[in-house]
Amino acid sequence: MRIEQPYAENGRPVPRRTPTSAPWLDAAREGRLRIQRCPRDGFFYYPRNRCPVCLGADWAWEDVSGRGTLYSWTVDRVGHDPAQRSQVPLVVAIVELEEGPRLTSRIVGCAPEDVSIGMPLEVCFEDLGRETLVHFKPRGR
């Protein structure tokens, strides 16, 4: 089965909406970062139907601080996806949230040369119409 990549009207790719990811995307549209929390094992990310530790289904969505630190990153200077070429250089990052989980995201609001491991970050959002993207920026900027 081929899964179609959805695009915003400006041609940029957006996350594929599923029943599982819809609460994440709805929260982003409202300017909130919300992830799932198991009553026994704590927060987990990415969105899924069962806790990755105990396989329980009694988790709940919870708003989190939106604060984290940079765990790892790389820079796309080429635009391997033609739809992203207007965005290069593009800092692709793994952000460790204060609540624990790590998210793959994008660093915006600073030059790639100013990005460093451990830098304090805060969530920000980019509305592309069809969906809202979750990014991170240097904290306090």
Size of the site for Zn ion (CB under 5 A): 7
Residues 112-131 that bind Zn ion (CB under 5 A): none
CB of 42 to Zn ion, least distance (A): 8
Least Å distance, CB 40 to Zn ion, is 5
Nearer to Zn ion, 53 or 92 (CB): 53
Cβ-based burial of 90 (10 A; exposed 0-12, middle 13-18, buried ≥19):
buried
Binding of Zn ion by 40 (CB under 5 A): yes
Q: How far is the CB of 63 from Zn ion (least distance, A)?
A: 19
Among 31, 49, 53, 86, binds Zn ion (CB under 5 A): 53
Q: How far is the CB of 62 from Zn ion (least distance, A)?
A: 14
User: Cβ neighbours of residue 27 under 8 Å, at least 6 residues apart?
Assistant: 33, 34, 61, 63
Instruction: Report the distance separating Cα 25 and Cα 128, nearest Å.
Output: 12
Q: Which is nearer to Zn ion, 6 or 56 (CB)?
A: 56
Contact 95, 102 (CB under 8 A): yes
Phi, psi of 56 (to 5 degrees): -70, 155
The β-bridge relationship of strands 132-138 and 120-127 is antiparallel
Residues 55-94 contacting Zn ion, CB under 5 A: 56
Binding site for Zn ion (CB under 5 A): 38, 40-41, 51, 53-54, 56
